[in-house]
A and B are shown apart, each in its own frame.
Chain A
Amino acid sequence: MTVNRIRIKTKDSDKRVVIPIAQDFDEVLGKEQQLALWDRDQIERHTNPILDFETMRFSPATILPDNKIFYSLLFATQTTPNGNAAMYSNDYSWAGIYYPDINKRRDVFNKSFFKFDFYTFPFVTELKISFSVTMPINNGLKVSRQIDNNPNSPNYDQFAWTRALAEDDDFTMGPYYYDIESSDFVFNSVGKGKENYYIQWLKDDFVVPDKNFYMTCRFFNAATGKVHRFINKPQPIDGNGNPVYTLNGQDYFFYRITFDRSNFTYKFREYEQGLWSAADIVGDSLGNSIKFYEYLNP
């Protein structure tokens, strides 16, 4: 029998068993990358946080096409309040700034101003001012006032009267009038009276998220050095007809402004705790102007 003589030789080398357990996978599943991002984020937060302080002009939101804004800041004509709006006037002479001062642009007129302070909360004990707007009174609405020729009157304006007389061909001896500023204000988007038409406020709500602010009014009087405080309603009287001097700040001190960042407008409402004024918006016409009345101390 012929058979193949096959010899099977073994190799004398080491045998290997490969156990397929992968060990070089990314155990942390990109965690390292995420940590790098986290690093960067932390650095950005702590070294140079981006706060957007860009401001934009906000214009009044009113329904009228010319959307002007109207303020009436009224002085008391009596020393004791009687609860009646008729006792307030837009005439600076009640504050000690007389017609000749206005007509001649004396410092007592030029350096007097209204100041509106805007607070985040309407709570008198927690007032935190956010921004202020000053309103020089030489931007006021001009009204016709009679030139006073009575030497005993504080409004006596001999110079203006004499000049008016000189221009008077008929020599009627008056009465003569001139146009001088009142404490009513009308602002529009073009021309002279636009100083407080636009209110510059933060474009983005990241730094200051509030959109409502509460506005108070004060008048800094350069003639007397006095600071007049103003309230949003005529100062009331009680049931017995006696003037009320102690007022609830939340009801009396504030107008509320609301900024609308979607179209960069603002609107004012009279603010009263729990009770809104009838108008959704104030300041859009002279009859519905933002009215402040002088507050009288006893």
Chain B
Amino acid sequence: MSFPDFIRALRGSQRYMGALDKDVVIRHSLEQTHRMLFETERNAVLNLNEQYFIEREESKTYRPYGKIKPLVDNVVSGYTSDPLMCGFQTYYYPPFPASTSSGAEGYPSINFFDFFTPTALTTTHNYTEPNSYKDNWLVYASYVRGNIDKSMRYYANKDTNQYINFNSRDGIAFHVRLVKINGKSALQCVCSAEHGLLENEYVEIQDSGSINTVNNNHITTINGGIQVPVYSFGDEMIGSEKKIFNILLRSDVNNPNTIIGGDCGVFKRLSDPSNYDETLSRYYVHQHTILTDLDESVVDRTAFEFGIYNKRFRYYREDHSPPFGIGHEVVKNQSSSFLWNFSKDIDVTKLKDNYNRPILDLYATILVGNQTNIWQKRKVEKKIIRGVPTLVAVAGYGMGWDWNFVPSGQTLDSYPNNFFSNLSTPDDIPKKDDMFAGAFVEYNEFELKERIISEVHHALHFNEEIFHDGKEREITDGYFYQPHYRIPIRKIANSISTYPDYRFVPSYATFSISEQTWRWRNVLNIGFFDSDKNGVNYPFVNGAHYPYTNIDFFIKPWLVDKPFLSDGIIEPLDVDDCE
């Protein structure tokens, strides 16, 4: 580079009068802003406890295992003429069957409820020994992936056939009684399940298209409005506080209340009317997704463990056991235990729950296998009754809640039929990624907490072709069981965390408009308890977690009226001052 000729370089003193010569210096600073690395000089402080904690916290591999104790009181009797069942698997009422052409009355043997079948139990039972642990019950792992809506029914009075149909998204159903509390007119609202209300909270009465009542009135307003404060809880029964709430009836409102006893309604819980959008509870049903295939389940006997209940059995001698004339023993009641686990490791890394959190619970899902065909599997079928083809509703597998397993052959809720696999074992065995409905749940966005209102139950009715009332008709009584059992793997904190900047909150945090901040509950570390019971701790070995779950698998008879209004009527003993 060169300068043009007309540019002259002048010394400082020649530029103007009084100017001085001056040295011009260009300083160039070459600064080094990094330090040298000495790769051979690396130090790490070893802390085995810390290392264990890190590895445990980062491991997402789960090997759930546990014990199942099927508990059944085998009380529903019937009549069978299936040769195998009649011959070997029936605990007869005396007398025992007279010949091969006759049937017998009695109870099905306990083998129909057990987790192992020792032999073929009915003529339609395709028995192989290695698969015998999958004949009666199927064991899966599942998790809650989403929420669904589900139609439900609540009977206010089953004798007068008064009931209300509603959807899970509408809230909790109740029926009312007109009572006086402290001399004031009040409405006593008897809920289908625990209402979850606290003092000073409100209920919002629902009126949506999915709600309709039969043989009674639908309550759409109370005291002229839909948001009503709760006055008190319970009636005179012990333990009724959780299922009954009372509302004072005001006489000063313009539209007098026309509610009569037995009317039904549906409510949602509202904890703060001034923050309506965030404190109104949501109601829905869990949607379970199956994580394992049936072949990946392992069920085995627990050595010699038998429950505390007596074994009840009879031995039938050769001459007392036609049609085969082979002496045999039939057990009516026995409680044994079984171990379950899975041959496949469950990796929860990519699983998110219904609120986009890392999953908090795995579930052991037990579904009826029915390889023996003892249980009814159809719902509606055409039958020839006295020569006339007739559509007969046969209560097969169905779903129910804590409140609707009441006698009288009431029809249960069906499975959601849009995208769910209906349970239709043994014809169709559930597999991985199939979905099933789970518990009925309340979620309050402000509390950021779910509350289980009712677990889901599945119904079992005897297959009338094998076991019937003696006239080849359905036995209306049956059994029901709970299919999903929670395996807690993480817990969320009792306290709510908040932070205004979205960049520093977890992905499952929700923004509160009323508080103008992000809110969430932290997922607690494994082994950390923020209260006595809130936390999880389970062994971590082989690079995997081993949560243990003890399942009391109740197979309850659908026979007696459940005390679903109050937990009990025996009051606690009075304690007087002298004691």
* Number of A-B pairs, beta carbon distance below 8 Å: 77
Residue A63 at the chain B interface, CB threshold 8 Å: no
**Interface residues of B, count at CB 8 A:** 36
A250 at the interface (CB under 8 A from B): no
Query: What is the minimal beta-carbon distance from A195 to any residue of chain B, in angstroms?
Result: 12
Residues of the B chain whose Cβ atoms lie less than 8 Å from the Cβ of A188: 129-130
Say whether B28 contacts A27, CB under 8 Å.
Answer: no
**A23 contacts the other chain (CB 8 A):** yes
Inter-chain contacts of A15 with B (CB < 8 A): 24, 26
B52 within 8 A of A: yes
Docked-complex contact A56 and B55, CB < 8 angstroms: no
Contact A35 B42 (CB under 8 A): yes
- Determine if B501 is an interface residue (Cβ-Cβ < 8 Å): no
B503 on the A face (CB < 8 A):
no
CB-CB contacts below 8 Å: A1-59 with B? 10, 12, 14-17, 19, 21, 23-24, 26-28, 31-32, 35, 39, 42-44, 47-48, 50-54, 56-57, 59
Is B542's CB under 8 angstroms from A59's CB?
Answer: no
Which of B31, B51, B132, B300 contacts A47 (CB under 8 A)? Answer: B51
Task: Select A39's contact among B32, B44, B133, B542, beta carbons within 8 Å.
Answer: B44
A235 to B295, CA, bound (A): 43
Note all chain B residues with C-beta closer than 8 A to A57. 298, 300
Partner of A54, one of B15, B32, B42, B542: B542
Given contacts A17-B28, A190-B129, contact A48 B52 (CB under 8 A): yes
Closest chain-A Cβ to B538's Cβ sits at a distance in Å of: 15
Q: Chain B residues near A42 (CB, 8 Å)?
A: 44
- Which of B33-41, B209-217, B449-457 is the interface stretch? B33-41
A203 CB-CB contact with B under 8 Å: yes
The reply to whether B37 and A31 contact each other, CB–CB distance below 8 Å, is yes
A35-B39, A190-B118 are known contacts. Are A19 and B33 too (CB-CB below 8 A)? no
- Take A23-B32, A54-B544 as given contacts and tell me if A10 and B15 are in contact as well, using a CB distance cutoff of 8 Å: yes
The answer to whether A48 touches B51, judged by C-beta atoms less than 8 angstroms apart, is: yes
Expressed in whole angstroms, the Cα–Cα distance for A17 and B24 within the complex equals 12
How far is B118's CA from A51's CA once the two chains are assembled, in angstroms?
38
**Known contacts A15-B24, A17-B28, A67-B130, A47 near B542 by CB under 8 Å:** no
Given the complex of chains A and B, what is the CA–CA distance between A188 and B541 in angstroms?
Answer: 31
- Distance to closest chain A CB from B432 (angstroms): 16
Question: In chain B, residues 32-68, which have Cβ atoms closer than 8 Å to a Cβ of chain A?
Answer: 32-34, 37, 39, 42, 44, 46, 48, 51-52, 55, 63
Q: Interface centre among A14, A65, A67, A190, by most B CB within 10 Å?
A: A190
Chain B residues near A35 (CB-CB < 8 A):
39, 42
Partner of B543, one of A43, A52, A66: A52
Given A66-B129, A189-B130, A191-B118, the answer on whether A23 and B542 have CB atoms closer than 8 Å is no
Tell me the complex Cα distance, A264–B295, Å: 10
| Nearest chain A CB to B304 CB, angstrom units | 13
Which residue of the partner chain, among A17, A50, A53, contacts B55 with CB atoms under 8 Å? A50
Asked whether A50 and B51 contact (CB < 8 A) given A35-B42, A39-B42, the answer is no
* A27:B34 contact, CB within 8 angstroms: yes
Count A interface residues, CB 8 Å. Answer: 41
Task: Say yes or no: B130 contacts A66, CB within 8 Å.
Answer: yes
- Report whether over half of chain B's contact residues are helix, strand or loop; otherwise say mixed: loop
Q: A51-B542, A53-B542, A54-B544 are contacts. A43–B52 as well, Cβ < 8 Å?
A: no
A68 adjacent to chain B (CB < 8 Å):
yes
**Closest residue of chain B to A57, judged by CB?**
B298
Given the known interface contacts A17-B26, A48-B55, the answer about A264 and B343 at a Cβ–Cβ threshold of 8 Å is yes
A54 to B343, CA, bound (A): 10
Residue of A44, A51, A66 touching B51 (CB-CB under 8 A): A44
Q: Which residues of B contact A43 (CB under 8 A)?
A: 44, 46, 51
B residues near A23, Cβ cutoff 8 Å: 30-33
Does B116 make an interface contact (CB < 8 A)? yes
Residues in A with CB closer than 8 Å to B32 are 23
Q: How far is the CA of A66 from the CA of B130 in the complex (A)?
A: 6
B128 at the interface (CB under 8 A from A): yes
Contact, CB under 8 Å: B129 / A44:
no
Tell me the smallest distance from the CB of B137 to a CB of chain A, in Å.
15
| Closest chain A residue to B54, Cβ basis | A40
The answer to whether A66 touches B128 (Cβ under 8 A) is yes
Q: Which residues of A contact B118 (CB under 8 A)?
A: 190-191
CA distance A206 to B295 in the complex (A): 23
Nearest Cβ on chain A to B382's Cβ, whole angstroms = 35
**Contact flags A257-287 to B (C-beta < 8 A → 1, else 0):** 0000001100000000000000000000000
B126 → chain A closest CB, angstroms: 9
Interface residue ranges of A95-144 to B (CB < 8 Å): none
Contacts of B129 in A (CB 8 A): 66-68, 188-191
**Is B298 a contact of A48 with CB atoms below 8 Å?**
no
Q: Which of A16, A51, A65 contacts B128 (CB 8 A)?
A: A65
Q: How far is the CB of A108 from chain B (nearest CB, A)?
A: 26
Contact call B31/A50, Cβ cutoff below 8 A: no
Complex Cα–Cα for A42 and B51 (A): 12
- In the complex, which residue of chain A has the Cβ closest to the Cβ of B132? A190
Among residues of B, the one whose C-beta sits closest to the C-beta of A39 is B44
Query: How far does the alpha carbon of A15 sit from the alpha carbon of B25 in the complex, in Å?
Result: 8
- A52 to B541, alpha carbons, bound, how many Å? 8
Select the residue from B42, B44, B128, B129 with max chain A CB neighbours within 10 A: B129
Contacts of B26 in A (CB 8 A): 15-17
Query: 25 A-B residue contacts at CB 8 Å?
Result: A23-B33, A32-B37, A35-B42, A42-B44, A43-B46, A43-B51, A44-B51, A44-B55, A48-B48, A48-B52, A50-B543, A53-B541, A56-B343, A57-B298, A57-B300, A59-B130, A65-B128, A188-B129, A189-B129, A189-B130, A189-B132, A190-B116, A190-B118, A190-B132, A190-B133
Q: A24-B33, A47-B51, A48-B55 are in contact. List 5 more A-B contacts (CB 8 A).
A: A23-B33, A27-B34, A50-B542, A188-B130, A189-B132
* A interface with B by C-beta (< 8 Å): 10, 12, 14-17, 19, 21, 23-24, 26-28, 31-32, 35, 39, 42-44, 47-48, 50-54, 56-57, 59, 65-68, 188-191, 203, 263-264
Query: Which 7 residue pairs of A and B lie closest in terms of their CB atoms, listed nearest first?
Result: A50-B543, A52-B542, A24-B33, A189-B130, A65-B128, A189-B129, A188-B129
Chain B residues at the A interface, C-beta cutoff of 8 Å: 15, 22, 24-26, 28, 30-34, 37, 39, 42, 44, 46, 48, 51-52, 55, 63, 116, 118, 128-130, 132-133, 295, 298, 300, 343, 541-544
